[in-house]
Amino acid sequence: MNKTININLGGLVFYIDEDAYQQLKNYLSAIERSLSSSEGKEEIIADIESRIAELFNEKLKDNKQVINQQDVHSVIQVMGEPEDYRVDEEVFGGDEKQSKSSASSRKLYRDTDNKMLAGVSAGLGHYFGINKNWIRLLFLAFSLSGGFGLLLYAILWIGMPEAKTTAQKLEMKGEPINLDTIEKKVKEGFQSVKKNVEEVDLNEVGQKIKNEGRSLGDALSTFITEFFGVITTIVKGFFQILGKLIGLVLITVGSGVLIALLIVFLFMGMIDVHLAKDWGFIYQGFSDYPEWLMHLLLFIAVGIPFFSLLLVGLQMVFNQMSKLHTGVKVGLFALWLLSVVGLIGMGVTQLNSDVVGTQQLEEKNMVFEASTDTLTLDFKRDSKLDMLWEDAYWQDQRTLTPGYDEQGNEILASKKINLSLGLSDTAQIRVAVAKKARGLRYNSALDRARAVDYEWSLNQDSLVLSDYFTTPSRWKNKGQSVKIGLELPKGTLVKMSERSAEGVEHFWQLTGDRGQNTHLWVVEDQDHLRCLDCE
Amino acid sequence: MNIENTKAQMRKGVLEYCILSVLNNKDLYASEILEHLKQAKLLVVEGTLYPLLTRLKNAELLQYRWEESTGGPPRKYYTLTDLGKKFLAELDQTWNELNQAVQQVTQQ
């Protein structure tokens, strides 16, 4: 079903479909535009209208009653494009400045007649009055440097309607937007306001003149109406330009942030993968959740608002941008909301997980003849882990994934250990290992503390300690640490390899130039050993 | 140099002359003039004609009268003015000269 409109063309009445009417109207106004400099323009238009009426009349035989789009289209083909009317003027020395035609600005369509891919560049070329190849070049340049061009092209492809009908093609090739045309628009607005005011004047004021003669007040009110009409037009024009400028700013900001986000998102991912491959470990960030999930949520949460900013900007600059489908809008908003809720949720659980701290204690005592026996202290260091730690940028983090345990579970290794040396007041060696962890509740903290795997042993005359502990990888950064308290009688003799001494040195003061060999040390004080046989 | 442009310009250059010639024998309205010109393939689209007719009328080479038509809009019948006839005679002469000159040049 189509709505029809009643029109008077060349003195004849026609019923015409609404869309066909729009097309015809656009066609006639386009002709009027291209004839703007001719003398007798109204007469020419009247002639053309009556010719169109004649052509329509021919089409309305055989019981056909309504003019449709197809009829209008075929009439336009017979009559020719508005350019055909204009070329004539050029040849016969009319006003050569064809761009000085009046009225409405160009609209943004995809020009599929001159397309390379989808006609986006050609359409933009018409819109800005630039050769389309320059725009293609720009797209190419932006595409090669970061792929932004491709993204923009895709967005424009979606947003720009294709110029299908003649009327749309006419609109597409209309006038470039520049200061000249804006000025002209303002002037036209002035004219039309003036015309309107004059008409009002004739109808209403004319009546008054009959009655009481034209008073000064009427003249004044006319002037005021006219004046404000002009002001309105100028202000409108000003806001149109302002709107375009704001639109440009929005586009710049929106696309800039999107590019930055995209780069960060892509390259962060690449670094992770790169490190994982090369060095066999993955950086464990502060979150329990996978890094990629956090990046993705962040990308969505920040990206969508800026994407909509970009769209709004595009709409402001190119009035013709088709709006996003409501479903898509709702979908985007829902996605954004989800990602924000997700991020907040992640943050809350992360914060909550550290509320309670507790520890699991392991203790061993051993009777020891401090004056005669020698304690061999072996501070075990995993050479593979050492290498990894040296390479890691984030050594302060001290948490790495070196591999898998016997059951094939991924494990974390951490160097958050503390080794303290105290003086025992009995003839006993005492070793206390406290494994610490934090959690949302006491139980979860204790579970985590128990899950800390620290290898150590004390027997006969040897103490074996490690400089790292491991923990299941599902608990990242739950405040796991190990504190080793070692108590030795003063004057105890301790034998340490160079490698062990190097590890112990992080915690204790070692006096003596020890070189590369195994040496004998004596317990001097708290956290203090003195070398007995160093050079 | 665009060949289509050149062709169109050549065609359009002689259009005024042809319109006047067609009207020399008989008063015609726009559609009839169009038929003559379209038969001779001087005109591709009709739109071009209307600005031309108005221009010729404004130059007082043509005048028109309205005639009612059956079942269509009223028609403007164009006719040559005295000035138009003189103008046409001069154009005839110019055209013949030009024709000869062009033939002479192109056949050498």
**3-state DSSP of A143-210:** HHCCCHHHHHHHHHHHHCCECCCHHHHHHHCCECCCHHHHHHHHHHHHHHHHHHHHHHHHHHHHHHHH
For residue B51, the distance in angstroms to the closest alpha carbon of chain A comes to 6
Query: Tens of pLDDT along B88-100?
Result: 999 899 899 988 9
Beta bridge partners of A429: A366
CB contact under 8 A, A91 and B12: yes
- pLDDT over 60 at B27, yes or no: yes
CB contact under 8 A, B73 and A50: yes
CB contact under 8 A, A50 and B31: no
Strands (E), A269-398: 356-367, 374-380
Please state, in angstroms and rounded to a whole number, the distance separating the CA atoms of residues B108 and A483.
112
What spatial distance separates the first Cα and last Cα of chain A, rounded to whole Å?
107
Q: Residues in chain B, how many?
A: 108
Please state, in angstroms and rounded to a whole number, the distance separating the CA atoms of residues A11 and A443.
93
For residue A34, the distance in angstroms to the closest alpha carbon of chain B comes to 11
pLDDT for A483: 92
Dihedrals φ, ψ of A529, to 5°?
-120, 145
Q: Which two tokens stand for residue A173?
A: 């090739």
Query: Tens of pLDDT along A52-68?
Result: 888 888 888 777 888 88
10-residue averages of pLDDT along chain A (535 residues)? 84 86 87 72 84 85 83 86 63 40 60 81 80 80 75 82 72 59 59 59 55 61 75 80 85 88 72 44 50 79 88 77 75 90 82 72 78 82 71 54 67 84 85 87 85 87 87 77 89 87 86 82 88 82
- On whether any CB of chain B is under 8 Å from the CB of A295, the answer is no
Q: Which two tokens stand for residue A14?
A: 């026609």
Within 8 A by CB and 6+ apart from A492, the residues are: A368, A370, A375, A429, A522, A523
CB nearest B48 (choices: A12, A38, A88): A88
* A46 to A50, A53, A256: CA distances (angstroms): 6, 10, 52
- Cβ–Cβ under 8 Å, residues B80 and B60: no
* Residue A255 CB coordination number (10 Å): 21
Kindly list the domain boundaries of chain A, sorted by start residue.
Answer: 1-96, 179-351, 356-531
- Closest chain B residue by Cα to residue A53: B73
- Closest chain B residue by Cα to residue A90: B9
CB nearest B46 (choices: A10, A78, A87): A78
- Selected for mutation to probe chain A from B54, B63, B76, B77 (highest A CB count within 10 Å) is B54
Query: Left, alpha or beta for A399 (phi > 0: left; psi -120 to 50: alpha)?
Result: beta
Strands (E), A20-81: 66-67
Q: Which two tokens stand for residue A335?
A: 């996605």
- Selected for mutation to probe chain B from A14, A88, A101 (highest B CB count within 10 Å) is A88
- Cβ–Cβ under 8 Å, residues A34 and A83: yes
- Selected for mutation to probe chain B from A75, A92, A170 (highest B CB count within 10 Å) is A92
Q: Which of A115, A109, A103 is nearest to A318 (CA)?
A: A109
pLDDT for A434: 92
- Selected for mutation to probe chain A from B12, B50, B55 (highest A CB count within 10 Å) is B50
Q: Which two tokens stand for residue A206?
A: 């004319």
Q: What is the pTM of this model?
A: 0.38
Query: Left, alpha or beta for A403 (phi > 0: left; psi -120 to 50: alpha)?
Result: left
Please tell me the least confidently modeled range out of A317-326, B63-72, B75-84: A317-326
More confident residue, B9 or A423: A423
* A259 to A147, A256, A436, A533: CA distances (angstroms): 9, 5, 44, 65
Q: Which of B57, B53, B64, B69 is nearest to B18 (CA)?
A: B53
CB nearest B47 (choices: A11, A48, A50): A48
pLDDT for A22: 87
The H-or-E segment that residue A374 falls in is: strand A374-380
pLDDT for A338: 92
pLDDT for A61: 77
Query: Tens of pLDDT along A199-248?
Result: 555 555 555 555 554 556 666 777 777 777 778 778 877 887 888 888 88
Q: Which of A247, A265, A262 is nearest to A310 (CA)?
A: A247
Q: Considering only CB atoms, which residues of chain B are within 8 Å of chain A?
A: 8-9, 12-13, 16, 30-31, 44-48, 50-55, 57-58, 71-76
Q: Which of A471, A439, A477 is nearest to A358 (CA)?
A: A439
Q: Which of A312, A303, A372 is nearest to A339 (CA)?
A: A303
- Closest chain B residue by Cα to residue A87: B48
The domains of chain B, with CATH numbers, are 3-107 (1.10.10.10)
- Cβ–Cβ under 8 Å, residues A480 and A436: yes
Within 8 A by CB and 6+ apart from A254, the residues are: A306, A307, A308, A309, A310, A311, A313
The H-or-E segment that residue B65 falls in is: strand B62-67
> CA angle, A480 as apex, A452 and A389 as ends, to 5°?
90
List of chain B residues whose C-beta atoms are within 8 Å of the C-beta of residue A40: 54-55, 57-58
List of chain A residues whose C-beta atoms are within 8 Å of the C-beta of residue B71: 57
- Closest chain A residue by Cα to residue B71: A57
